[in-house]
Structure 1
């Protein structure tokens, strides 16, 4: 398989899938999502692979969500909103192997949603987590909101989405969004060690356990799918477009003037 936006490497039975757009803070465009889906399925059904690591290139960011330069009321790829987000999220949940988010820097917006969905999250002391949707004229229905509440608790999830605060790696561990926070120089070794330990376990037992964990929240896929249609309608409004315009013009958005 040929990839442009990601890197794919197998290390001792562990597939490392790395978003390779550091100049864009590892934000994803339509092509990035398509390549991630292909890579996840490649690793997920490769018998030589026992665990999957989802990472971001460079030091600054794990992933900062959708590339706003490719967003003008709709993103630049396929899918309901121009990004096949439902497919990407489903791929992470449905591959029969644990997916570990390796977070060395910013995990913001859609990147934060990826951490929420991954089976495990291991972060650096330099990691920063948070949501920006309501500041940008966007939101993530389903996994990014309702499922986040399942992970960190409803009150905390509402705080994350309503106030758009940023949280350290240690805070992410305390709220249940991450499993462990380690010094930056130990991050890769820790991720590989956890993944290799998973590879030593029964792959069938792991696959069944993952399906069982996901069964309890399988309805979130339906919520997410319906929500994406609502999001598309929202993206067509002046209120949503104000977020992108304000970012490009480097000013504070004024959403209230478009509220109906």
Structure 2
């Protein structure tokens, strides 16, 4: 598929999906949401992609949320249809089965912050900032923010950020546990690729099952969660990659995983 609003490239087993609307601060338009859904499906179905990056083009913004210039021209019915599309896009990011890392190079506001929260973890530039300012527009975060933010930083801190609509710096986000790394802007992609290479050297089936076990199990009662973990482990046990991993260990070489 040819994309107009995003870029999708591959580097080895790593896919990099970038919102490509820097002139609009990578705001989320109808067309962009459709292309994000298409790209996520393309990356999921590509067995050669073990893990993916979600970022934004330029150095100003990861994504500043909905494109309000587009929205002001829409009828109420058109806005309802767009809203349903946006929910699908946010859900697809949160439910993407392979490791998905957000790389935030500037503003991650509103829906942009929610996209980042929906990823497995965040690597941020020192210039990045985060916020869920929706209450200032008399609405609430609607892309998962009220559910994801409390799970990442805790209920009371999430309430404060959402109730005030406050924007926080990358360093403050790091202190809250919202982001995993904060690096100088010129080192952002270098750090990202370093981390991603550490991920994709591992078995892709194991990566997917580890993500499934964590995401589904974290809110479960412990005995049920442990049963889920055992189920995910057994999926890995029956793969060719498991055999390759043991063989490579015994032969003192790097394994060559194929996702089977």
Q: Give the shorter-chain TM-score range.
A: 0.7 to 0.9
Report the TM-score, using the length of structure 1 for normalisation. Answer: 0.78
Indicate yes or no: 2:18 matched with 1:18: yes
Q: Is the 8 A contact 1:76 1:82 kept in 2?
A: no
TM-score normalised by structure 2 residue count: 0.78
1:166 maps to 167
Corresponding residue number in structure 1 for 2:101: 100
CA positional deviation for 1:62: 0.4
Sort the Cα spacing of 1:197 and 1:141 in 2 relative to 1 into closer, same or farther, 3 A: same
Unmatched tracts of structure 2, length 5 or more:
221-260
Cα gap change, 1:58 to 1:88, in 2 (>3 Å): same
**Cα distance in 2, alignment partners of residues 81 and 69 from structure 1:** 14
What is the CA–CA distance in structure 2 between the aligned matches of 1:78 and 1:46, rounded to whole Å? 33
Paired residue secondary structure (1:59): coil
Residue by residue over 1:139-171, the C-alpha shift from the partner in whole angstroms, topping out at 9 and shown as x without a partner, is 224721122111111111111111111111111
Structure 1 residue 80 displacement after superposition: 4.8
Q: Which residue of 2 aligns with 1:117?
A: 118
* Structure 1 residues 133 and 74, CA gap change in structure 2 (3 angstroms): farther
Residue of structure 1 equivalent to 2:240: none
Q: Secondary structure at the residue paired with 1:97?
A: coil
Question: Residue 201 of structure 1: CA displacement?
Answer: 0.9
Matched residue, 2:31 = 31
Q: Is the 8 A contact 1:75 1:83 kept in 2?
A: no
The change in CA–CA distance for 1:60 and 1:81 in structure 2 (over 3 A counts) is same
CA RMSD, aligned part only? 2.2
Give the secondary structure class of the aligned counterpart of 1:213: helix
Question: Shift of residue 137 of structure 1?
Answer: 3.0
Aligned residues of 1:30 and 1:83 also touching (Cα < 8 A): no
Deviation at 1:198, TM superposition (A): 0.9
- Higher RCO (CA 8 Å, separation ≥ 6 residues): 1
The aligned counterpart of 1:48 is 48
**Secondary structure of the corresponding residue to residue 123 of structure 1:** strand
Is 1:66–2:42 an aligned residue pair? no
The number of equivalent residue pairs is: 219
